[in-house]
Structure 1
Amino acid sequence: MKETPLSNCEREFLLKAIEEKKRLDGRQTYDYRRMKITFGSDYGCCFVDLGKTKVMAQVSCELVAPKESRPNEGILFFNIELSPMASPTFEPGRQSELSVKLNRQLERCLRNSKCIDTESLCVVSGEKVWQIRVDVHLLNHDGNLMDASSVAAITALCHFRRPDVSIQGDEVTMYSPEERDPIPLSIYHMPISVSFAFFQQGTFLLVDPCEQEERVMDGLLMIAMNKHREICSIQSSGGIMLLKEQVMRCSKIASVKVSEITELISKALDNDKTARKAGRRCGFAESMPQERITALKKDETSMETSDVTDRADDIIQKSEVPSQSVHSPVVPVPGVGQVGQGLQDSWGLEEEEDDEEKEENENSDVMKMEEESRGGDVVEISDSEEDEVVVLQ
């Protein structure tokens, strides 16, 4: 499914606003959208909100055989899922060009930069190593997926803990978190991607483009850098020619943004660690309110229960005393059955009354016929159902 193209009016409006150094959400040229980092209840689950763009990263591990070319190193694997929930242009169960592109960029940013010590993931040389798998799910698409994915992936890797193992001879024993504390990964640095969008052949520059700005841009430059100002990867797309001064200018801007984002990640990890140590609510439980079920909640007025007994005594005193007590209840209507000694049963009285009324009606009809016969008129009814013969005497 192809995305709906922008109309000419929308395109002209966006380009005109960018020329005047104005953006749709009120940001300045070099401003990032508000970034929020939260964690799940398990280690290695991270959510990143970059404006309306929402990404989830989940890290998992398993013991596998190493690669023949690197028998002493663990394996780092990345997988990006473009969910149709994020955008109607994403198709489920099929790798699009965008997903392949994002996957390669994430591998260049994190795996090729050697940010993780893969040799520490070796358990038995040439036989068993840890394979670390990072699954990145895009939950909502509003532009700049690469930056949000890189932040979510590196934060999830820093938050992840692998199980502890011991080796006795040829046997490898894996311990559960209850038996031994899990071990964090050995991470050297945190590479973070910063995206720059260019308009009108590089005349205008924007940081952190949203989805509508990505549709009208001429080219995109992505710089992955750590807080030590070391460029881990750099890649441009869109076929735009950039000058050396433009690239240097973008790298200086990226160094400032990377230091701010790294500080935010460190603060989020410290807060989560402190909350888990103190036994406070962390992960999903931190964002849950006290009253979990709010769908059927009703606003009820508070009731005062302090003087309930006094008010009950007043009501009892003001109530009238019944004149006489009725031992056997009187059945007011027929058709009610009661079982017990001294109780009246009116079950079937309706039928008896109906039978008595029928008998009285029949008797009255007979009396009328006798009186008519005494008057001298005799009515004879023939066998035929159609004709009636009346004989007058």
Structure 2
Amino acid sequence: MEHLRWRPTVNERAFIERSLESDLRVDGRHSFDFRTLKITFGREDGSSEVQLGETHVLGYVTAQLVQPYRDRPNEGTLAIFTEFSPMADPVFEPGRPGESAIELGRVIDRGLRESRAVDMESLCVVAGKHVWSVRVDLHILDNGGNLIDAANIAALAALSTFRRPECTIGGDDGQQVIVHDPEARDPIPLTIHHMPIAVTFAYFGEGNIVVVDPTYKEEAVMGGRMTATINSNGDICSIQKAGGEGVMSSVVMQCLRIASVKAADITSKIKKAVSEGPQIDD
């Protein structure tokens, strides 16, 4: 876990930047290579585990019946919560979310919820009275850099395997909700229209050098960062630029083209992992 306390010296910073100028990275990747991605699932529906290089994130989805918002009486809700453990990185404080936790939640929330990836109307049981409220909890176990992309994949993987109980309406007044036991009736998967994939770029050298999927060390020396959330159709769901100097529009367009290719690749990896199901040891 040595990298978690790593702060670059002047020489280390110069070495990373000089390597990048030669299209080489400290871990041997080229500029637009992702680290190895591993997606696994727990025995329970709606739980996922994602490893992106040394970054390690757990996703867990739950749902409960609630009253809908007044202005959207026939729509369920989706909320993202992030939990940063000091074990994952000593800079994370227990008990209260720091700036990075809030930013992570917002970027993933914007990409997932605002792009209406999950069909909210299918979560309605009785309009104006009972809808499903879906909650995604993301636990950061190890911060090896690029938490956004890893946590976003964990959220999508968990949502893809989640099943909610089937409900029927009955009772004397015909308004009573009966939630059926999974043993009696098969639970129902969420309707997911598309998969918004977050692809994060780090900028170096006044924005002239760009790399995808930055490590913890690269994040410590980068000049700025941009996350493009794109689905496999090439639709841009959201763009978030954090810190640093301005970046030329031509560089942004190049990043969007690369992000589109990466999004299609990661989407197929998530779907493949979901189809293979949980890896249960003998």
TM-score (norm 1): 0.69
**Would you tell me which structure has more strand in proportion to its own residues?**
2
> For residues 95-117 of structure 1, what are the alpha-carbon distances to aligned partners after superposition, in whole Å with 9 as ceiling and x for unaligned?
10101111111111100010011
The amino acid of 2:182's aligned partner reads P
Note if 1:250 corresponds to 2:252.
no
Q: Does 1:226 align with 2:231?
A: yes
Q: Deviations over 1:125-165 (max 9, x none)?
A: 11111000000000110000000011110111111000001
Q: Which runs of 4+ in 1 moved over 2 A?
A: 2-5
Of all paired residues, the percent bearing the same amino acid is 46
Give the 5 Å matches for 1:115-154: 115-154=117-156
**Is 1:238 the equivalent of 2:243?**
yes
1:148-198 deviation line (CA, Å, top 9, x unaligned): 011110111111000001101021100111000000001100000000111
Q: CA RMSD in A?
A: 1.2
Q: Deviations 1:18-65 (Å, cap 9, x if unpaired)?
A: 122211111111100000000000000000100010100000000011
Q: Which residue of 2 aligns with 1:65?
A: 67
Listed one character per residue, the Cα deviations across residues 289-346 of structure 1 (whole Å, up to 9, x for unaligned) are x4xxxxxxxxxxxxxxxxxxxxxxxxxxxxxxxxxxxxxxxxxxxxxxxxxxxxxxxx
Determine the structure 2 residue equivalent to 1:55: 57
Which of 216, 219, 222 is matched with 1:217 structurally? 222
Equivalent residue, structure 2, for 1:27 = 29
Trace 1:95-110 onto structure 2 (pairs within 5 A). 95-110=97-112
Q: Which amino acid aligns with 1:256?
A: V
Q: For residues 1-393 of structure 1, what are the structure 2 equivalents within 5 Å?
A: 5-168=7-170, 169-272=174-277, 282-283=278-279, 286=280, 288=281, 290=282
- Could you tell me which runs of 5 or more consecutive residues in structure 1 were left unpaired when the two chains were aligned: 273-281, 291-393
> Larger Cα Rg: Structure 1 or Structure 2?
1
State the shift of 1:9 in Å.
1.8
> In structure 2, do the counterparts of structure 1 residues 49 and 4 end up closer, same or farther at CA, with 3 Å as the change threshold?
closer
Evaluate the alpha carbon distance shift between residue 267 and residue 173 of structure 1 in structure 2; reply closer, same or farther with a 3 A threshold: same
SS for the counterpart of 2:115 is coil
C-alpha deviation, 1:239, in angstroms: 3.3
SS of 1:254's equivalent in the other structure is: helix
Give the secondary-structure state (helix, strand or coil) at the position aligned to 2:11.
Answer: helix
Residue 3 of structure 1 and its aligned partner are, at CA, apart by 6.0
Which structure 2 segments of 5+ residues have no match? Answer: none
- Per-residue deviation, 1:4: 5.6
* Aligned mates of 2:218, 2:202 — CA distance in 1: 8
Residue 371 of structure 1 is matched in structure 2 by none
Q: Specify the code of the residue in structure 2 equivalent to 1:151.
A: I
Query: What's the secondary structure of 1:178's corresponding residue?
Result: coil
